[in-house]
Amino acid sequence: MLEAIRTWRLFPTQIESGLAMYSPRRIAEWLKPDFTLSSRELLVLLDELPDTSKFKEKLERGRRLVEYIGYDPSIEQGSLILMPAHGRLPQDVRVVEEYVDWTLDRKLAARNVRELIAARSYAEGFKADFTHLEEPLRELLNAREHNKRSGLLAKAREHARRGLYAHERG
């Protein structure tokens, strides 16, 4: 019973939508005082939901990319750490992004498509575009790296501009 309550507290809307879409049973049957749906039956129903349900997405593939901002000498400050999207966060991290990872089937299909595109682009001599074929974590890391480079480039341009026009100030 405690596991069912803990799960319900973490994912109430995902459980309700999953049961409404994929089961003839409703969460109201478990919440009623007469318990027409037992906690064990609820957990079995939740376990049988498809991988594409919102509940399974959040429970099994929900991820947080966090940055360490603490002062522990054994962990480099600014390190990126991958954590489950549910549960309490440690005090010494900052959330960079939350996302839902792809199912294994989708990852395999995307990898096959990327290989096919790369092979064709190599043979035909054009640059392959892998937009929307990268896994969510890879996209987040690529965007973070791009933003970092853009920031450094903007600082360099500003520094050069200030240096070029320094004679006008003085």
In a domain, 118, yes or no: no
Mean pLDDT score, 122-134:
73
Tell me what pLDDT residue 63 has. 92
Are residues 54 and 14 located together in one domain of the fold?
A: yes
pTM of the model: 0.65
Structural domain for 21, as ranges: 2-58
Tell me what pLDDT residue 77 has. 86
Are residues 54 and 11 located together in one domain of the fold?
A: yes
Element (H, E) at 147: helix 136-164
CB 68 within 8 A of CB 78: yes
Closest CA to 106 of 74, 133, 71, 145: 133
Are residues 54 and 79 located together in one domain of the fold?
A: no
Phi, psi of 48 (to 5 degrees): -85, -5
For residues 88 and 128, which has the higher predicted lDDT (pLDDT)? 88
Tell me what pLDDT residue 167 has. 64
> In angstroms, rounded to a whole number, what is the distance separating the alpha carbons of residues 92 and 77?
10
Q: Where are the beta strands (DSSP E) in the chain?
A: 62-68, 80-84, 93-100
Domain count, the chain: 2
Are residues 41 and 80 located together in one domain of the fold?
A: no
Q: Is the pLDDT of residue 170 over 70?
A: no
- pLDDT tens track for 29-56: 888 877 688 889 889 999 999 988 999 9
In a domain, 87, yes or no: yes
Tell me what pLDDT residue 29 has. 84
Mean pLDDT score, 12-23:
90
Are residues 44 and 82 located together in one domain of the fold?
A: no
Tell me what pLDDT residue 93 has. 92
Are residues 68 and 35 located together in one domain of the fold?
A: no
